[in-house]
Homo-oligomer: A and B are copies of this chain.
């Protein structure tokens, strides 16, 4: 199984590095995806949303048929949903993928590629209304959502939880647990500041 992670100018850093870390740690503890590829349209360096510069492994032209594809979010998605080359790349790869995943506002790229219509999905809390306004998505306020072969997560850091859930579904909970241990993903439960800050968070927060 190979795995591609799409990047573009303005991709949010943690949106893709969180899943990248979990997927590549899966390779370390078991039969994780090989290769894991960072895929950019031209293959040229990409400047992320907060200014980190990265070098894709392959361009669209050089990218093999992918078994799984993850689309991160970030401000750049507002431009890329109108980029027919990128949207067609996602739609074309998805036809052969056993799973397509998005993090944060990457959900809007999946929608532009025709992958979210009629599906249950989620996105960053500040974009939930925008996802509802598309009209054909069953929006869920969950940390991550699986609807068949389409997996979507809440914002930024939620891609880590999404990926651990995905690994558990593919390789079993024990493997996901080994990844969790190696990445020492036992996050603190602190909530900083007053409750008025976190009142803007989605409904899943109340259920935690």
Contact = CB atoms under 8 A, between A and B. Distances in A.
A181 B197 contact: yes
Interface in A151-193: 154-158, 160-161, 164-165, 168, 172-193
B183 A157 contact: yes
A53 interface: yes
B161 A187 contact: yes
B157 A184 contact: yes
Nearest to A126: B182
A162 to B, nearest CB: 9
A104 B183 CA distance: 10
A183 B161 contact: no
Nearest to A17: B17
A39 interface: no
Interface in A94-123: 104
26 contacts: A17-B18, A20-B52, A21-B50, A21-B157, A36-B50, A45-B55, A52-B54, A53-B54, A143-B186, A157-B160, A157-B183, A157-B186, A161-B187, A164-B188, A168-B192, A174-B193, A175-B193, A176-B192, A177-B198, A178-B197, A179-B192, A180-B192, A180-B193, A181-B198, A186-B204, A186-B205
Interface of A: 12-14, 17-18, 20-21, 24-25, 27, 36, 38, 45, 50-55, 57, 104, 124-125, 143, 154-158, 160-161, 164-165, 168, 172-194, 197-198, 200-201, 204-205, 208
